[in-house]
Structure 1
Amino acid sequence: MRSSWLSRVVSSLLLSGFIANIIVTALIQESMERGRFPSTIAEFGYTFDENGELKGKDGQRFDFEVRKGDKEYNQRHYEALGECITQHVYSLLETDCGLERATVPERTATRGQPTSFLFHSSDLATNDRKLMVLIHGSGVVRAGQWARRLIINNNLNVGTQIPFIKRAISEGHAVLVLNTNENAGLNSKGVRTYIPESDSPEAHALYAFEYFVKPSPAREVYVVAHSYGGVVVTALARESHAARNRITKIALTDSVHSLHGCSRKVVAWLQERSINWVASKLQLGLPVSRYGGGAHLPSVSAGVDVHEWTSSSAMESIFTFFNDRPSDPGSDSSPKSSAAKRSSDGEASADARVDSGLADLKSEQDTSSVAQSESVEESLPMEESQCVRESQPMEESQCVQESQPMEESQLAGESQPMEESQPA
């Protein structure tokens, strides 16, 4: 008798839960029909599976066209989902990677003004060995992301910085993840204003280096920067003594920076520490010639010819570069090592091919650095303090118009390049 009674209760509860789920789903759907979108991935009907792929309840991948033929609605739906993914990645940085969130500005915040934040490992203030700083591109991406569309259309491993973070931590690095696109927010009066010390990507990075990198006891500081992150790096080189005194090596991935306006000293400093892994059909790590006048940073192939994929594709090559013999941040010694020493039985390994490419790159760089520096000195006499603000508009417009729309249209359908009008 009791068993029968319990069965009826359980059945009633299951039925109630099923009905409640239908009601909630209907309400969410009605809300979306009215243009109000959910605030979580789950409410959108999606989840990330064990492979980091975004899947619906039916196991299907994301479909951009929610309403057939309604591009405006589909775009708004996509952007709302993207905002939920941003919050999800923030959560993963804290729960999956063990990072801590820190307010920006922390020491110079004004009461009532909006603030931003960044993420760092718990050993940032104590790790005296190595520190890795990660800088994303521009546009809609935030801390922890390389490309939102790769997250949505592919998986978390290629679209986020999480593999870099976990690898760095496993190799003994402290980690600092910048959030350079979080530049405005609501003040205490509900008015949207710029965030002090973080009103631009460059300002955010300058603050981070002054208050987080400069006090760090790490002997070696490595930077990984994607796309417009390269512009941020050149700004650091021009304006931040903390950056020039602390950075050991710089890995750029298809950076859209320009050295226009940099002094010969800054150009030489960047060239001695940097490699740009560019989109190319060449094999990973092989040197890539850069055309045009003026100075260039050393460039190698990222092993893919699509802008957004360069960071994930080049990761192994980047860590090989970082793990090679470090250079003194204050010296003129180059970090680009010579050797393809990891081959065995006459057949080069992947790491050896990378090292061989870096050796060729170093040789090419040595033969041209003097001429390049003279070219910069003669044609670009501006002071270092002048060059950042004057050169950025051109670089940012190049990033939007030249690099990304074609690549992004290949990933997510005709309508989605609207997002890329804000450079990734």
Structure 2
Amino acid sequence: MPDSPVTNCEQALIQLKNFGYAFDEAGILRKIDPATGEPGTEQFSYNVSDDGNENEKHYQNLANQIPEIVYALLEKNGLSRTYIPLHKDPQRSSFIYSQPAKLSQSKKLLVLIHGSGLVKAGQWARSLIINNSLDHGSQLPYVRQAQKLGYDLLITNTNDCSRFYNGKENIIEGVETPLKHTKYVWKNIVLPSKPESVAIVAHSYGGCLTLDLVEHFLDFFKESVFAIAFTDSVMGSPQSKYRDYLCNVTCDWVASNTPLDTPISQSKNSIRRVSAGHTKHEWTSYSAIDSIFKFIEEKYEQRTNKK
């Protein structure tokens, strides 16, 4: 029988191995022990040369393998890929992840929106995946906790806006920017699925994307979105037409040197801010996860008690 084709994830793992690294069973990136060919005890080291440019090139080449590995882990955890825009050539399309594969009348739906830059679906922070572990920097802990609590899931992929073909990078029309991506997903995936109750967790620039959704789909948000958890989000002041709603359902866990959930000073008529329990921006989603799910569940209980 012919060998099975190598998957993108397997190719990424091979590339990692070529760089001298592999993830151990705990999801920590380790240097491969030459004696065993298995992950050893040493973790990732940025400095591989006296040349700073060479170090950065090495880091980026290694980091480029992370998306496919995380995609495979999302699929291993039961999520399915949907290509967008719908009904287009998958090779020239972006995609999102969801569970179930086709969302339909979810009793509880959790939407995860990452930040800007080079992160893709399933990631909060590449640097944490590389320097700490998959659980620290990926959305997998959120996936597992949401599944445990009975949520359907939708994971956005807002930075995946182009494909290389015909010798050049081409934008994916319809989802060519993070703003257009989130609006497309909301209009074509979320709204038609008619979810009963929706919660959102959004990191960094994901906060700006969420506010854009609120502005464009305000009636739906007021009716169905019962909790919005931001982690050190980038956003302006909410507009007066939806300020009261937003302040009622939203909390932002921000980088701070104070203990988790300590209230942080805020201006009048603004979204509640509390400490994420960590001083670094990229750590906030990982650090605040227990508090965030407690907040979401409390908001859901309030919603069900109103009915």
Structure 2 length normalisation: TM-score? Answer: 0.86
How far is the alpha carbon of 1:123 from its aligned partner? Answer: 6.0
CA contact (8 A) 1:90 1:143 kept: yes
Q: Distance in 1 between matches of 2:164 and 2:255?
A: 38
Unaligned runs of 5+ in 2: 1-11, 34-39
Q: 1:305 aligns with which of 272, 276, 279?
A: 279
1:64 paired residue among 46, 64, 87: 46
Matched, 1:199 2:179: no
Instruction: Measure, in 2, the Cα distance between the counterparts of 1:317 and 1:124.
Output: 29
The corresponding residue for 1:83 is 64
CA distance in 1, matches of 2:99, 2:107: 14
Give, in angstroms, the shift of residue 40 of structure 1: 2.5
Q: Could you tell me which runs of 5 or more consecutive residues in structure 1 were left unpaired when the two chains were aligned.
A: 1-36, 334-424
Structure 2 residue aligned with 1:228: 205
CA distance, structure 1, for counterparts of residue 152 and residue 167 of structure 2: 36
C-alpha distance in 2, partners of 1:124/1:137? 25
Partners in 1 of 2:46 and 2:187 — Cα distance? 42
- C-alpha distance in 1, partners of 2:18/2:221? 43
Q: 1:321 to 1:123 in 2, by over 3 A?
A: farther
> In the alignment, which of 163, 167, 186 is matched to residue 141 of structure 2?
163
**Alpha-carbon distance in 2 for matches of 1:73, 1:38:** 21
Describe the superposition over 1:38-81 as per-residue Cα deviations: whole angstroms up to 9, x where unpaired. Answer: 963222221111221100112211111112x1111111111011
- Report the residue type matching 1:208 in the other structure: V
Deviations 1:154-200 (A, max 9, x none): 0111110000001101111000000011112235x333222122111
- Choose between structure 1 and 2: higher helix proportion: 1
1:96-139: CA deviations, max 9, x gaps?
Answer: x11101101114x4x69931111111265246321000011110
Q: Would the aligned equivalents of 2:105 and 2:193 in 1 still touch at CA under 8 Å?
A: yes
Count residues with an aligned counterpart. Answer: 285
Q: How much has 1:268 moved relative to structure 2?
A: 2.2
RMSD (Å) for aligned C-alpha atoms: 2.3
Aligned-pair identity in percent equals 38
Counterpart in the other structure of 1:100: 80
Write the mapping of 1:342-357 to structure 2, written as runs, cut at 5 A. none
Distance (whole Å) between structure 2 residues aligned to residue 244 and residue 185 of structure 1: 36
Conservation of the 8 A alpha-carbon contact between 1:123 and 1:174? no
More strand, by proportion: 2
Q: Aligned-pair distance for 1:308?
A: 0.9
TM-score, normalised via structure 1 length: 0.63
- Which residue of 28, 33, 50 maps to 2:25? 50
Task: Give the CA deviation at 1:290.
Answer: 2.2
Q: Give the alignment partner of residue 129 of structure 1, picking from 97, 100, 107.
A: 107
Query: Contact (CA 8 Å) 1:41, 1:85: kept in 2 or not?
Result: no
**Alpha carbons of structure 1 residues 325 and 113: separation in structure 2 relative to 1, 3 Å:** closer
> In structure 2, what is the Cα distance between the partners aligned to 1:295 and 1:79?
41
Answer yes or no: is the 8 Å Cα contact 1:129–1:217 preserved in 2: no
Alignment map for 1:163-312 (pairs within 5 Å): 163-187=141-165, 189-241=166-218, 242-259=220-237, 262-290=238-266, 295-312=269-286
Q: CA 1:101–1:113 in structure 2 vs 1: closer, same or farther (change >3 Å)?
A: closer
**Residue of 4, 15, 21 corresponding to 1:40:** 15
Mapping of 1:412-423 within 5 angstroms?
A: none
Equivalent residue for 1:141, pick from 75, 95, 119? 119
Read off the aligned partner of 1:55 and give its amino acid letter.
R
> How far 1:216 sits from its partner (Å)?
2.6
